[in-house]
Structure 1
Amino acid sequence: MKALKWVDLHFEELVLTVFLIILSVLITVNVVLRYILGSGLTWSEAVCRYCLVYSTFFTIGHWIRRSSGISVDFVLQIVPHSVNSLFCWIVRVMQILFFGFLFISSIRVFCSVYASGTTDGTMGFNMAYIYLACVFGFLDALIRSIQVIILNLPMMRHKEA
């Protein structure tokens, strides 16, 4: 149970850390090889690009879970406090709908690119694998959005009472 709680709190951080380590090591090795041996790894730039794209999409779930996204909250400051919690719920439901739409759309795009068979010129991978970052990222964002509502449900009930 402790491990599951740790994964819940740190999943995106773990994934982002792994991508950052891979990115840093490959760039450093490639720079050293280019300056010492005169030639670098041809595939490392593509792997770094993939790590950067995947980390970008996993960041979405991280800021949702931490509630650290940028928001415009001037409306919440001018409305009465009782309406404030209603607006927060509306925004959270819209967020779930938005990420649900993006998740479904990203699956369609992934399937379309996979079926086309387009490959990456550097590594020969199917380009669908780069689009898989959207699927994973938006799924994570959708799960985290639902989780934030569930975790805040007792707090919202307590405010209304």
Structure 2
Amino acid sequence: MKIIRWLDKHFEESVLILLMIGISCTMFLQVIMRYFFNMPLTWPEELSRYMWIWTVFFSMSYTIYMRNMLRVDVLAEFLPERVRQILEISIQFLSLGIYSVFAYYSLIVYRSLVISGRVSPALRIPMYLVYSALCIGFFLSIVRTLQLIVELVMEMRGRKSEHLKMMEEMQETMKKEGI
């Protein structure tokens, strides 16, 4: 159970950290090889681009988990609390539908790439490995949105989830430290 709880709290964060380290190291290697040894490599830029794609799709579910999705909530601020909560839950159900449609079509793209056997130009890796980021990213977004809906319903009923308590503690700590 501890492993599942840790994964719930830190999975996307850990993958994103590893991907950013990978991008930094790969591009650093490319700079060293190009400018100091005058021997540019062909694969680092492609690998960095693919890691960046993975970063984008993992970031999507991470921002849902952290409740940091971009939003325009000017009108919602004027609504009564109960109406605002219902609106937020409705928006999350709409988001869930959108992520589900994108997940479905990402599976179609993934399947077509598996069948075609297409490989990347420099690394010669199957392109379905790159595009699997879409499937995984949208699946994780669906899971995180479902979690968020449950949390919002709990909040509407007057109970705080463990995740919300953790977020409030983080916000208090940031205020104390002046961040």
How far apart in 2 are the matches of 1:154 and 1:87? 15
DSSP-derived class of the 1:158 partner: coil
Structure 1 position 54, deviation (Å)? 0.3
Q: Equivalents in 1 of 2:27, 2:158: separation in Å?
A: 51
Listed as ranges, the gaps of 5+ residues in structure 2 are 160-179
Q: Which residue of 1 aligns with 2:167?
A: none
RMSD: 1.6
Match of 2:125 in 1: 125
Amino acid of the structure 1 residue aligned with 2:134: C
* Distance in 2 between residues matched to 1:78 and 1:130, nearest whole Å: 44
Deviates more, 1:52-61 or 1:36-45: 36-45
Partner-residue secondary structure (3-state), 1:27: helix
Report the Cα distance in structure 2 between the residues aligned to 1:86 and 1:155, rounded to whole angstroms: 11
After TM superposition, the structure 1 stretch with the greater mean CA deviation from structure 2, 141-150 or 39-48, is 39-48
Taking the aligned partners of 2:90 and 2:111, their CA distance within structure 1 comes to 32
The residue correspondences of 1:40-59 to structure 2 (distance < 5 A) are 40-59=40-59
Compute the displacement of 1:96 (Å): 1.0
The size of the alignment, in residue pairs, is 159
Write the letter of the residue equivalent to 2:6: W
Structure 1 residue runs of 5 or longer lacking an equivalent are none
- Distance in structure 2 (CA, Å) of the matches to 1:147 and 1:82: 20
Specify the SS of the correspondent of 1:67. Answer: coil
Secondary structure at the residue paired with 1:68?
A: coil
Between 109-118 and 66-75, the greater mean CA deviation after superposition: 109-118
Q: Report the TM-score when normalising by structure 2.
A: 0.82
Alpha-carbon shift at residue 131 of structure 1 (Å): 1.3
TM-score, structure 1 as length reference: 0.91
Take 1:34 and 1:5, find their aligned partners in 2: how far apart are those partners?
A: 44
How big is the shift at 1:130? 1.8
Give CA-to-partner distance per residue, 1:122-145, whole Å, 9 cap, x none. 122222222111111111111110
Summarize deviations over 1:88-110 as a string: whole Å, max 9, x none: 11111111111111111100111
Shift of 1:47: 1.1
**Higher normalized contact order (CA 8 Å, seq sep 6+, divided by chain length):** 1
2:85 touches 2:152 (CA, 8 Å); kept in 1? Answer: no
2:141 equivalent in structure 1: 141
Q: Residues 8-87 of structure 1: matches in 2 within 5 Å?
A: 8-87=8-87
Mean Cα deviation higher: 12-21 or 28-37: 28-37
User: Matched residue of 2:157: which SS?
Assistant: helix
Greater CA deviation, 89-98 or 37-46?
37-46
* Shift, 1:117, TM fit: 2.4
Paired letter, 1:42? T
In structure 2, C-alpha distance between the alignment counterparts of 1:81 and 1:151, rounded to whole Å: 16
How far apart, CA to CA, are the structure 2 residues paired with 1:46 and 1:82?
Answer: 49
